[in-house]
Amino acid sequence: MKQEYEVQLDLFEGPLDLLLYLVNKAEVNIVDIKVAEIAVQYLAYLDVMRDLNIDIAGEYLNMAATLVRLKARELLPDSAPEDLGEGDGGIYDRDQLIAALVEYKKFKEAADALKNYEARQFGSYGRGMVETFEEITAPTLGNEEITVGDVSIFDLVSAFKSILERAVEEKPDHVVEVENCRIDDRIEYIFTILSDLGHGREARFVDLFADNRKKIVLVVTFMAILELAKMGRIRFRQETAFGEIFVAGM
């Protein structure tokens, strides 16, 4: 069945961001990465994006081709050097891939530092200006503050990937029933769950998919979550890096 929806979100930063996420998740140093393993994981994430009918940018596909080539060169016995046209700015060996990731990590950390500095300076004024602010507190669960924290789009895709692997596969039958599943309906379903919990309370990410294990419903539910995140209507929290994700309304 052809999907009647397509998602185009600005939540995905780029292929190097995904690669860096996979390296961190594997808990290895960038210089110790195994291209073959990273390539398999990277392609698995692209498969999930395709399942979601997300418009995959050409740069992701170009990196996929690069990783497949590097994986083949890593697995095959040493042979005569290939004429790959080095010099046009591409990535042609493991060392160049590592160098690109190290450089990207530096820029990412610098950008995060500037973002944190901007957040600390927000609301600061020079001497002579007097401003009164109403104290704003975030909703809490017990004594824990609910924040977006370090939950990235790739954390969400990773969590959804695990859910999708346990999806109920529909067996072929003589009568084909098309599942009537719309993003708007799933958004309402998610809001109902969060509302029933009460203001500021959290739901486990996996619990948002518990009512129906059919793949089409899981996919549309995840798309609804991405839309809500894009609109700033929900926020996420992880107690540990790459750990379980909790969701709260805003």
pLDDT at 98: 92
pLDDT at 153: 81
Q: What are phi and psi of 69, to 5 degrees?
A: -65, -45
Highest mean pLDDT among 138-142, 171-175, 209-213: 209-213
What's the whole-model pTM score? Answer: 0.66
- Rounded percentage of the chain residues whose pLDDT exceeds 70: 68
Contact of 225 with 234, CB cutoff 8 Å: yes
**CA-wise closest residue to 98 among 45, 34, 43:** 34
**CA-wise closest residue to 247 among 156, 136, 154, 185:** 156
pLDDT at 143: 35
In this structure, what token pair is assigned to residue 128? 């002579």
pLDDT in tens, 58-113: 888 889 999 999 888 877 766 545 544 454 457 888 889 999 999 988 888 887 77
Banded model confidence at residue 174, pLDDT cuts 50, 70, 90 = very low
Burial of 239 (C-beta count, 10 Å sphere; 0-12/13-18/19+) = exposed
Centre a 10 Å sphere on the Cβ of residue 39 and count the other Cβ atoms it contains.
Answer: 23
Q: For residue 216, give the 3-state DSSP assignment.
A: helix
Q: For residue 43, give the 3-state DSSP assignment.
A: helix
Domains plus CATH for the chain?
A: 1-77+90-136 (no CATH), 143-170+182-250 (1.10.10.580)
Task: Kindly give, in sequence order, each residue whose CB lies less than 8 Å from that of residue 145, ignoring residues fewer than 6 positions away.
Answer: 138
Task: Kindly give, in sequence order, each residue whose CB lies less than 8 Å from that of residue 214, ignoring residues fewer than 6 positions away.
Answer: 167, 168, 170, 179
**CA-wise closest residue to 163 among 121, 197, 205:** 205
pLDDT at 12: 56
